[in-house]
Amino acid sequence: MITIYNETLEWLKNPDTWQAFAYSALRIALILLIGRFVVWLVHKSVDRFVINRASKQSPGHARRMTTVGKLMKNVISYAFYFIVIMIVLSAIGIDLGPLIAGAGVAGIAIGFGAQSLVKDILTGFFIILEDQFAVGDVIQTGQFKGTVEVIGLRTTKIQSWTGEIHIVPNGMINEVTNFSINNTLAVVDVLIAYEADVNKAMEIIRETTKQLKHEHLVKEPDVLGVQLVAALAVTIRVIAECNPNMHTFVARYMNKEIKDALDQNGIEIPYPKMVTYQRSYEEV
């Protein structure tokens, strides 16, 4: 025990030991710094390439280019970080030959146990290649609905309209509804009281919709007519084609304008009423 202590003490007192340690630490710091700089430089190059290509493409291709750019940056980052780790281990003095051989054998064993991870990665590639959805699209998968923030190698991040971020493994994305590809339909049901003139109300609504101007309206709204005759009101349905995923904003705008027009022309909107009948003593 005393011999080991003395040898360790002599090793620590040896200036060559600290010189080698400082040299290794400097090499590792330099390798990490250069690796970080290379990753940053490649990310900037990818962003510039994607922006230049996307500006010359149609909106659909631009979405795909943006998504592919993010995926490329993820792949490049993982590859460079792996290389940097190998170089750092080599700088420390670890022989990489047996390590790489052992990693290959371990990789096969891990591959059988990490089937879900492989499934996530493969699904992520097919999402990009088939252009199922892209960054910025509003989608719904399972119980999650929101805007796609990131499509990674393993997971997809979806931000709901209330701000929550849902991180969904790509392998769990079996069914997707994309609300950002085709134009959507804004549906507005206008309730008219039975006492009001339905034909006049439809004419007022038709004239009002012809004058509507909204940035997301694709064409003039269409007044379909009486949709429902219920116990308390008559329902008139109006539809309008609008830009993808903008039907809620257009529907709110149409509701306000139609309501103002009906009020100005004296068309009543139904509300709960109570009729009281009081018998007189003469009827008894």
Residue type (1 letter), 209: T
* pLDDT at 36 (0 to 100): 81
Query: Between 89 and 257, whose confidence is greater?
Result: 257
Q: How far apart are CA 162 and CA 146, in angstroms?
A: 9
Residue 150 φ then ψ, to 5°:
-145, 135
Q: Where are the domains of the chain?
A: 2-113, 134-178, 184-264
Segment 146-184, tens digit of pLDDT: 999 888 778 899 999 888 999 999 888 888 888 888 888
**Contact residues for 250 (Cβ-Cβ < 8 A; gap 6+):** 186, 214, 216, 217, 240, 242
Q: Among the residues of the chain, which ranges form H helices? A: 2-13, 15-54, 59-92, 96-113, 115-129, 198-210, 247-264
pLDDT in the model for residue 189 = 92
pLDDT band at 137 (very low <50, low <70, confident <90, very high): confident
> Considering only CA atoms, which of 186, 222, 177, 207 is closest in space to residue 267?
207
Three-state SS for 76? helix
DSSP secondary structure, 136-191, as one string: T-EEEETTEEEEEEEE-SSEEEEE-TTS-EEEEEGGG----EESSSS-EEEEEEEE
9/179: higher pLDDT: 179
Mean predicted lDDT score pLDDT of the chain: 79
CA distance 180 to 162: 18
pLDDT at residue 165, rounded to an integer: 92
Rounded mean pLDDT, 258-266 = 90
Whether 134-178 shares its CATH topology with 184-264 is answered: no
184-264 topology per CATH: Alpha-Beta Plaits (3.30.70)
265 touches 200 (CB < 8 A)? yes
pTM, 2 dp: 0.56
Say which CATH class 2-113 falls into: mainly alpha
| Residue 58 backbone phi and psi in degrees, to 5 | -70, 165
What is the CATH code for 134-178? Answer: 2.30.30.60
Give the pLDDT band (50/70/90) at residue 255: very high
Contacts of 86 (CB under 8 A, 6+ apart): 96
DSSP 284: -
